[in-house]
Structure 1
Amino acid sequence: MANVNNNIDSDEELKATILASLDLIDYPSYTKIKNTNYSYSTSANKEIIIDKMKRGWSQQKYRNAGKTKKPYHLPLTKKTKSRLEKMAQVQGLSETAMLDILINRFYEMEYVDVNGKDLY
C-alpha cells in the first residue's frame, strides 16, 4: 500500500485508523459520562455518516462497473428473444447477464484449447 502522509504503511493500519476516526465521532458524548458504566451505543450522527459512506461506496462501485460495459444493439428473432427471456427468468438473471454467460461458455467450449489459450 502506498504510504499516505508518511504515517500509514499497511492496509491493517489504514483500517485501524478509519475505525478509530469513526469512534471519535461519539467522543464528546463519551467524555461526559466517563465515570459511569458506559455501554456503547451508536449516535444518530454516526449512523448518518456511516450510511453516507456506504451509499458513496455503492455509487462508486456502480460507476466503476459501467466502465467495462458497452451498449450494443443485437437484433434477434422473436423466437430467440423469447428463449433468451425464458432462460434469464429461470436463472434469475437479466437478459444481458444471461447472454453474457451463454457467449462466454460457448467461447470457452469451442474457441479455447485445454490450456486456456485462444484457438483462433
Structure 2
Amino acid sequence: INPKDSAQLKWAWSYLIKQQVAAPLPSPIDNKDLLACILATLDDMSYGHPAEKQLFQEKMKKTWSQKKYRDSGKAKKQHYMPLTKDTRDKLSALSEEWSMKPHEVVEVLIQEANEQKPADAN
C-alpha cells in the first residue's frame, strides 16, 4: 500500500469494510488515519492462520490491480449489436480480407468515420 496514494488508501479501507474484516476503529479522517486503520486491520488478521492472511492480501492486491486496469480505460467492455445476416456476412468477409477480428474491423471503421468528420462536427 502506497501511503501517498489517497485513492488507493480510500479503496483499501472500503475494501476491508466490504469484506467485513475491518477492525472496529473510529472512522479515519485523513491519509495518515486511513493507513493506520488499514495496517491495524491487517495486523489484527495476524492472530488467525498465516496462510489465511496471505491469501486475503493476495486477493486484495489482485482486486486493486483489476480496478486500476478497469479505470485506465484500456479495459474493453462487451457490446451487443444486432446485425442482419447480410451485414454479419459482409463483416466476416471484411475481417478475413483484412486479417482482423470482426470487432477490430468495426473499431477501424468507426475511427476512420470519426476522422473524416469536419472538425466542428466533433
Q: Same fold (TM over 0.5)?
A: no
Q: Hey, which of these two has a bigger chunk of helix by percent?
A: 2
Q: For this structure pair, what is the TM-score category when the shorter chain's length is used for normalisation?
A: 0.3 to 0.5
Based on CA coordinates, which of the two structures has the bigger radius of gyration? 1
TM-score normalised over the length of structure 1: 0.44
Q: Which has the higher contact order (CA 8 A, sep 6+)?
A: 2
